[in-house]
């Protein structure tokens, strides 16, 4: 019987396999940031261990860094200590670091691909759940906890039970103005936050093949939001073209060898998945969340649901609690929900295409009175490229804020947070209670919806702007 893409990549990385024990899996690339690594380095020091493969390890600063005054010392002493600890640790253990102010600094999941370190057929881990992003290249990539970070630092391996396999086939074509973000939010609303648990998911089908690498990263990024171990997309010409000129891409004869191997990384025709889901891309519309987990979403054209709409008692109770927290009344059209802050950025939607799309929509418009629009590039390189293209001027002219690179308002850890009760439309990945700041209320949206919402001050799609101008 044939094998799936994930089985092929898995099998290539098994160092040791014994019945009754998890497989010992080799890790090709370990990404590090300041928040989940300090205790791991401490553990190494205590045990007198070193980093086994500093040459397969890379660090950057993203979660805890400010996006204004980033060229000055970090004001918050606790944050500063954490960032300085990373600098000390990477120096002591010989790990490459791209610190704040460096041209390659940025969100770890934006940095890996743009350096060309993320390649098909690899195993990639990081102490961050959105490591699933790298699966867009046909890699097995997943988030780990700090104990596992220490384990990888010390051994370059991880003990892992082999997950089951699932195929999500997306047929058809995404309609105009509908993006990868709408597709993944639609999928999560169908499966719930636990639907992918225990599976490595392969996204496939016509609509997936048509996506750019950046859009594929958006899809794989949110795999964890429906509980999947990892998300993957088979590499193809789009993948190879993206990698080819990147700094760390294979060169010369090695490039040819690599591509020849990468072309074998597809699911065999006679392979069988443990589970399959089929989605029709033609049916997907702009999609937004109303609740406090990424599965609580509806089409933008719909209304806030009522707890009575849910049969399952847990879902009913969860909806009640979510509506109270979000300050929403059942039956309110989503388009009438007023937004205080629009956040464009994060490892989900903080790349060049996201910024270009949003700039294109907001050009010639103004950010609505009473709404602020925060634009945060995913990496310093994205910021520099956007500035070269003049996108920052478009945003600034519209009344938006143009920031330095980092995780920013995605997670309420650095100075970019919502105030209690403040409501955001956010291109990030989590609408959990307090995720963007204590008491903050988050609606997850695509970059298209974010830009249109910034203009109208209520949840909107670009089509609403055209209608208003007609």
Partner 1 sequence: MDKFTTHSGVGVPLRRSNVDTDQIIPAVYLKRVTRTGFEDGLFAAWRNDPTFVLNNEAYAGASVLVAGPDFGTGSSREHAVWALMDYGFRVVISSRFGDIFRGNSGKAGLLAAKVDEKVVQRLWDYLDDNPGAHVTVDLESRTVRAGEGADAIEDSFDIDDYTRWRLLEGLDDIGITLSHDEDIAAYEATRPSFKPVTQHA
Residues 154-173 that bind partner 1 (CB under 8 A): 154-157, 159, 161
Site string for partner 1, 212-251 (x = CB under 8 A): ------------xx-x-x------------------xxx-
> Based on the number of CB atoms within 10 Å of its own CB, is 41 exposed (0-12), middle (13-18) or buried (19 or more)?
buried
How many chain residues bind partner 1 (CB under 8 A)?
87
Asked if 103 is part of the footprint of partner 1 (rule: CB under 8 A), the reply reads no
Tell me how far, at minimum, the Cβ of 450 lies from partner 1, in Å. Answer: 21
CB 323 within 8 A of CB 462: no
Of 292-331, which residues contact partner 1 (CB under 8 A)? 292-293, 314-315, 317-318, 321
The bridge status of strand 29-32 relative to strand 57-60 is parallel
Tell me how far, at minimum, the Cβ of 318 lies from partner 1, in Å. Answer: 5
Instruction: Return the range that interacts with partner 1 (CB under 8 A); candidates 128-136, 270-278, 351-359, 390-398.
Output: 128-136
Q: What does the block give as tokens for 346?
A: 């994060």
Does 347 appear as a known binding residue? yes
Does 410 appear as a known binding residue? yes
CB 149 within 8 A of CB 36: yes
3-state secondary structure of 119: coil
CB 386 within 8 A of CB 355: yes
Asked if 60 is part of the footprint of partner 1 (rule: CB under 8 A), the reply reads no
Q: What separation in angstroms does the CA of 329 have from each of 98, 160, 222, 233, 278? A: 46, 44, 27, 39, 33
Tell me how far, at minimum, the Cβ of 464 lies from partner 1, in Å. Answer: 31
Instruction: Return the range that interacts with partner 1 (CB under 8 A); candidates 214-222, 255-263, 331-339, 393-401.
Output: 255-263
Q: How far is CA 439 from the centre of its chain?
A: 23
Distance between CA atoms of residues 169 and 187, nearest Å: 11
Q: How far is CA 163 from the centre of its chain?
A: 21
Q: At what angle do helices 352-362 and 380-388 cross, to 10 degrees?
A: 40
Distance between CA atoms of residues 214 and 355, nearest Å: 11
Site string for partner 1, 351-370 (x = CB under 8 A): --------------------
Asked if 451 is part of the footprint of partner 1 (rule: CB under 8 A), the reply reads no
Q: Which of 11, 301, 438, 468 lies at the binding interface for partner 1 (CB under 8 A)?
A: 438
**Strand order from edge to edge, sheet including 123-126:** 96-98, 57-60, 29-32, 123-126, 140-143
Distance between CA atoms of residues 354 and 439, nearest Å: 27
Site string for partner 1, 364-403 (x = CB under 8 A): ----------------------------------------
Tell me whether residue 45 or residue 338 sits nearer to partner 1 (CB atom).
Answer: 45
User: Can you give the length of the chain in residues?
Assistant: 470
CB 164 within 8 A of CB 275: yes
Asked if 50 is part of the footprint of partner 1 (rule: CB under 8 A), the reply reads no
Tell me how far, at minimum, the Cβ of 378 lies from partner 1, in Å. Answer: 18
Asked if 6 is part of the footprint of partner 1 (rule: CB under 8 A), the reply reads no
Tell me how far, at minimum, the Cβ of 77 lies from partner 1, in Å. Answer: 10
Distance between CA atoms of residues 345 and 107, nearest Å: 10
Tell me how far, at minimum, the Cβ of 314 lies from partner 1, in Å. Answer: 5
Tell me whether residue 148 or residue 182 sits nearer to partner 1 (CB atom).
Answer: 148
Tell me whether residue 137 or residue 287 sits nearer to partner 1 (CB atom).
Answer: 137
Does 126 appear as a known binding residue? no
Tell me how far, at minimum, the Cβ of 449 lies from partner 1, in Å. Answer: 22
Tell me how far, at minimum, the Cβ of 81 lies from partner 1, in Å. Answer: 6
Q: How far is CA 330 from the centre of its chain?
A: 30
Tell me whether residue 142 or residue 373 sits nearer to partner 1 (CB atom).
Answer: 142
Tell me how far, at minimum, the Cβ of 461 lies from partner 1, in Å. Answer: 27
Asked if 415 is part of the footprint of partner 1 (rule: CB under 8 A), the reply reads no
Asked if 55 is part of the footprint of partner 1 (rule: CB under 8 A), the reply reads yes
Asked if 99 is part of the footprint of partner 1 (rule: CB under 8 A), the reply reads no
Of 418-437, which residues contact partner 1 (CB under 8 A)? 430, 432-435
Distance between CA atoms of residues 132 and 218, nearest Å: 10
Distance between CA atoms of residues 135 and 9, nearest Å: 11
143's enclosing H/E stretch is: strand 140-143
Extract the annotated binding site for [4Fe-4S] cluster: 347, 407, 410
């Amino acid at each position: 019987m044939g094998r799936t893409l994930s089985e092929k990549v898995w099998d290539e990385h098994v160092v040791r396999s014994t019945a009754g024990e998890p497989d010992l899996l080799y890790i090709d690339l370990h990404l590090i940031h300041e928040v989940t690594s300090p205790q791991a380095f401490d553990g190494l020091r205590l045990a007198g261990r070193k980093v086994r493969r500093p040459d397969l390890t890379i660090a950057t600063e993203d979660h805890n860094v400010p996006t204004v005054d980033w060229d000055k010392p970090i004001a918050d002493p606790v944050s500063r200590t954490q960032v300085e600890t990373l600098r000390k640790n990477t120096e002591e253990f010989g790990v490459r670091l791209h610190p704040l102010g460096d041209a390659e600094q940025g969100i770890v999941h934006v940095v890996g691909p743009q350096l060309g370190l993320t390649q098909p057929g690899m195993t990639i881990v990081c102490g961050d759940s959105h490591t699933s992003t790298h699966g867009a290249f046909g890699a097995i990539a997943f988030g780990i906890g700090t104990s596992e970070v220490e384990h990888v630092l010390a051994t370059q391996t991880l003990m892992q039970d082999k997950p089951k396999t699932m195929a999500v086939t997306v047929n058809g074509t995404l309609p105009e103005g509908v993006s990868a973000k709408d597709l993944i939010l639609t999928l999560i609303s169908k499966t719930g936050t636990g639907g992918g648990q225990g599976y490595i998911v392969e996204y496939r089908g016509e609509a997936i093949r048509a996506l750019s690498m950046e859009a594929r990263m958006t899809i794989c990024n949110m795999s964890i939001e429906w509980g999947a171990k990892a998300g993957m997309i088979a590499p193809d010409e789009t993948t190879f073209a993206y990698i080819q000129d990147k700094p760390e891409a294979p060169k010369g004869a090695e490039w040819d060898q690599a591509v020849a191997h990468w072309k074998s990384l597809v699911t065999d025709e006679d392979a069988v998945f443990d589970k399959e889901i089929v989605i029709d891309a033609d049916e997907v519309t702009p999609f937004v969340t109303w609740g406090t987990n990424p599965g609580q979403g509806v089409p933008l054209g719909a209304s806030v649901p009522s707890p009575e709409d849910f049969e399952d008692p847990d879902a009913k109770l969860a909806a009640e609690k979510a509506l109270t927290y979000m300050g929403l009344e059942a039956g309110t059209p989503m388009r009438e929900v007023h937004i205080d802050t629009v956040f464009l950025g994060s490892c989900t939607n903080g790349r060049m295409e996201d910024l270009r799309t949003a700039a294109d929509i907001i050009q010639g418009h103004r950010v609505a009175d009473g709404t602020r629009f925060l634009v945060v590039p995913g990496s310093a390189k994205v910021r520099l490229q956007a500035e070269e293209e003049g996108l920052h001027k478009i945003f600034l002219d519209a009344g938006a804020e143009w920031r330095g690179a980092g995780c920013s308002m995605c997670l309420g850890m650095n100075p970019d947070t919502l105030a209690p009760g403040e409501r955001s439309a956010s291109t990030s990945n989590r609408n959990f209670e307090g995720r963007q700041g204590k008491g903050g209320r988050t609606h997850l949206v695509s970059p298209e919806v974010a830009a249109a919402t910034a203009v109208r001050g209520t949840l909107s799609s670009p089509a609403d702007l055209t209608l208003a101008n007609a």
